[in-house]
Amino acid sequence: MPRSLISTPRGGIWRATADRHIYIVWMALVWSGMIAGFLPDIARFRSEAPPPPFILDFHGAVFFLWLVVVSVQIGLVETGKPAVHRQLGWWIVGLSALLVPLGLVASMVDMVRETAPAHNDPLSLSAQPQFLGLEFQAMVVFAIMLTLAVRMRHDLAAHKRLMVLLLVCVLDPGTARAWSSFSPITIAGPFGWWLSYFWGNATLVAAMIGWDLWRHGRVHPVLIWGGALIGFGELTAVYLEFAPWWHDAATQLTNWWHWAG
């Protein structure tokens, strides 16, 4: 993607002080979604038989660590410590990059487990091989968003929005669980499936757009293009979830992988 498409437009409306502390709000919303989804799900996850393998625990620990350090990075900027933020930056890029292959491996391992005849988890959100489509697109969009965030690191308004969009890419595992645990709404078909998995992503992106319109009078270009990329990934996931050819391909891929950790 050309840098000019997502760069901050010239003009004082995008000065850093205009967005003071709003990124802490976005980060708090991300943590709320994750806690609401994963906290009620811990007991179910730990009671699965056979128990989750080490690779899934390791993936969960790395993901949690990543959330913590990204939160710290945002806090460092918002509290006036940009030098420390820059010193930690490349370490966090490395940790972020690790999440992509680790997430793909964890997805395959978990799918082999979920579809095994002996698995005893009827409440799982991902017990069908076609669900891999959602997880694969999330990792692809995450990798693209991470690359853009690194490229735009000297454009503060763009970079900070890209980092929040990076969090949006992996928000749905928490908010989808929260929907499953607490929502009384059940809607069949592609829209209902999209809503149950991606309502949290859509809510946060809409809130970011609303903030830009209210605070700056226009939406930042990086939010337009980044939000469109996330939306395209979600539409791809919906298409694959209901495409018979992908059901067959995902089943064959799961059988080929075979390793359950």
**DSSP single-letter state for residue 18:** G
Distance CA 18, CA 7 (A): 17
- Distance of alpha carbon 14 from alpha carbon 223, whole angstroms: 13
What is the reported pTM?
0.91
Cα distances (Å, whole numbers) of residue 190 to 101, 151, 195, 242: 28, 35, 9, 7
- Could you write out the DSSP letters of every residue in 57-110? HHHHHHHHHHHHHHHHHHHHHHTT-HHHHHHHHHHHHHHHHHHHHHHHHHHHHH
What does the pLDDT average to over 32-41? 90
Distance CA 96, CA 188 (A): 35
Give the tens place of pLDDT for each residue, 69-117.
Answer: 999 988 888 887 878 888 888 999 999 999 999 999 999 999 998 887 6
Q: Is the pLDDT of residue 132 over 90?
A: yes
196-254 pLDDT tens trace? 999 999 999 999 999 999 999 999 999 999 999 999 999 999 999 999 999 999 999 99
Which tops the pLDDT comparison, 18 or 133? 133
Instruction: Mention every residue, 6+ apart, whose C-beta is less than 8 A from residue 130.
Output: 240, 241, 243, 246, 247, 250
Q: Assess whether pLDDT exceeds 60 at residue 119.
A: no
pLDDT at 1 over 80: no
CA distance 256 to 250: 10
Average pLDDT, the chain: 89
- In this prediction, residue 124 carries a pLDDT of 54
**Burial label, 130 (beta-carbon count in 10 A; 0-12, 13-18, 19+):** buried
Tokens encoding 25? 């709000």
